[in-house]
Structure 1
Amino acid sequence: MRDQIKIKTQKVDILGVYFDNVTMLDMIENIKNFFYEETVENLFIVTANPEIVDYATEHVTYRQLINQADYIVPDGTGIVKASNRLKTPLKRRIPGIELMNHCMKIANANHQKVYLLGSTKDIVAQAQEKLQHRYPQAQFDHHHGFIDLNDETVIKRIKRFNPDYIFVGMGFPLQEEWIQKHKHSFEHTLLMGVGGSLEVFSGEKKRAPKLFRKLNIEWVFRLLIDWRRLGRMTSIPKFMYKVLKIQRKNKKKNKN
């Protein structure tokens, strides 16, 4: 059944994480096609940036988990640059927040239900209010993200709502672990980890200006407005170092 839902795509291996070589337009069509199918299967999407891939290289269980997703898309310029270095170029970067926004447009057009899970009680409520105003034909519900992964009360609440989409903004690895653990509690539902997107949709945080996005340096803007991210940024040079090691290894193989 899964093969009928998902259009098979070329896989690109970046440090053991298998990305789908797709564009944003491809993903929009894939999502639309998923909802046209009559199935109880779900659609699990991972939007992975260098920080996530670096973490996955050091945590085998997490790497195996995300590689079981239906789609892994490159949310980060560093992923696309790495694919070029490894001579297996990915077509485009697919920002998770933009993919989520396209899902909202589909939900609005089809009068679908969207569940927001994550962040604080106030922020997720603000995100729902603003998204409901922007997409009045969709139906929204929410719950904050400070929950135990085994909290069945939240699962029961979500099941009563019966959503078409569940966007989980707990940050990695928790959001993907929550999806993997509970996805079988739902039917014909798209589930996607969205990191800090709920903060942006709520208005609590600003997304990078268009110039930063065009130059593919959104991470610089995020660092400028929040220096607490500096520690997390160490994963980027670690990621690139690991990519360079693979690149050198491949060159030696080709010479031999």
Structure 2
Amino acid sequence: MINKCKDQRVNVLNLYFDNVTMSQMEENVERFFEEARDENLFIVTANPEIADYATNHVRYQRLINQADYVVPDGTGIVMGAKMLKTPLKERVPGIELMEACIRLANRKQQRVYLLGSKEEIVQQATRQLQTRYPNVTFDFHHGYIDVNDAQIAHDIRQFNPDYIFVGMGYPRQEEWIERFVDHFERTVLMGVGGSLEVFSGSKKRAPKLFRKLNVEWVYRFLIDWKRAGRLKSIPVFLYKVMQQKYNKK
């Protein structure tokens, strides 16, 4: 794993975010393959929900901070960093970083494994992505698994992937990566939450206007009011950021 000093990262609720742009992350991933090392690259895309959860689960917080890159997937993280007067350059949406990686895989004719969601969802996501990126070799498995089941990791290893995108939701996806990362060599591993549903077409991403205004969460709430319970984490997160701000004084 990449050795980086915490002082070079932005501390938001004791999660240490890399202050990078999307284009810089694309360059980091491409450079990882060019350097021809046997190590893996573990990327966490953390939003306010994850940051809030991590404040109450120290082991999970430690797991995230051990990743090679922690990027701000959420407007709230960028807002929080700005409130703390340690601004991040920009939001790095996990779904966009995932697709950037797949574009790179298409150029390099690499292998991509999708792990997560229901069988029909991950299967459809694979079909859709295969159509768009014909030079990529895909394989997949649903996410309804025991995160301790080593057989799944063994089967994936036989596929010899360059990328493993794990869409099982936090904290399971990061816990799975932590548990089995050593089964692989020169592989990019990243938790991608609900991205597989979007790529399958079963869920729609917010229109570009919502994304440009950094209010994608508003669109998700409007089309799925059941998310109201999950959105409670945002004001809680901001309250905790305010506490961090005043504790620093």
TM-score normalised according to structure 1 size: 0.94
Paired position in structure 1 for 2:177 = 179
Contact 1:163–1:189 (8 Å) recurs in 2: yes
- Mapped to 1, the partners of 2:161 and 2:6 lie a distance apart of 26
Partner of 2:164: 166
Please provide the CA RMSD for this pair.
Answer: 1.5
1:70-120 Cα shifts (integer Å, max 9, x gaps): 000000011011111101000010000000010010000000000000000
8 A Cα contact 2:6 2:16, kept in partner: no
Q: CA deviation at 1:9?
A: 8.9
> What does residue 213 of structure 1 align with?
211
- Give the corresponding residue for 1:226: 224
Aligned mate of 2:246, from 245, 248, 254: 248
Shift in Å, 1:249 = 2.8
1:116 maps to 114
Given residue 242 of structure 2, which amino acid in structure 1 is its aligned partner? L
Q: TM-score, normalised by structure 2?
A: 0.97
- Tell me which amino acid in the other structure corresponds to 2:141: H
AA of the residue aligned to 1:108:
N
Question: Contact between 1:9 and 1:22, CA under 8 Å: does it hold in 2?
Answer: no
Cα deviation, residue 228, structure 1: 1.4
Match of 2:52 in 1: 54
Q: By how many angstroms is 1:246 displaced?
A: 1.8
2:150 paired residue number: 152
Aligned to 1:136, the other structure's residue is in SS state: coil
Question: Which runs of no fewer than 5 residues in structure 2 stay unpaired?
Answer: none
Higher deviation after alignment, 35-44 or 123-132:
35-44
Q: Letter of the aligned partner of 1:97 in structure 2? A: I
Q: Which amino acid aligns with 1:241?
A: Y
Contact map agreement 1:7 1:30 (CA 8 A) in 2: no
Alpha-carbon distance in 2 for matches of 1:36, 1:249 = 43
Question: Could you tell me whether the CA contact under 8 Å between 2:41 and 2:186 is conserved in 1?
Answer: yes
Q: Name the CA distance, whole Å, in 2 between partners of 1:137 and 1:10.
A: 37
* SS state at 1:231 partner: helix
Aligned to 2:144, the other structure's residue is in SS state: coil
Alignment correspondent of 2:132: 134
The CA distance in 1 between the partners of 2:73 and 2:208, in whole Å, is 16
Separation (CA, whole Å) in 1 of partners of 2:243 and 2:151: 46
CA distance in 2, matches of 1:216, 1:9: 27
Q: Distance in 2 between matches of 1:231 and 1:175?
A: 21
Counterpart selection for 1:19 from 17, 22, 35: 17
8 A contact 1:9–1:21 mirrored in 2: no
CA distance, structure 2, for counterparts of residue 15 and residue 61 of structure 1 = 14
Q: What whole-Å deviation, never above 9, does each CA across 1:109-152 have from its counterpart, x for those lacking one?
A: 00000000000000000000000000000100000000001112
| Pairing 1:75–2:39 present | no
Task: State the one-letter code of the partner of 2:201.
Answer: G
CA distance in 1, matches of 2:171, 2:25: 23
Partner SS, residue 88 of structure 1: coil
Could you say if the C-alpha distance between residues 15 and 76 of structure 1 is closer, same or farther in structure 2, counting changes exceeding 3 Å?
same
Unaligned runs of 5+ in 1: none
Letter aligned with residue 136 of structure 2? A
Matched pairs, number = 249
SS in 1 for 2:237: helix
Secondary structure of the corresponding residue to residue 220 of structure 1? helix
Equivalent residue, structure 2, for 1:193: 191
Sequence identity (%): 64
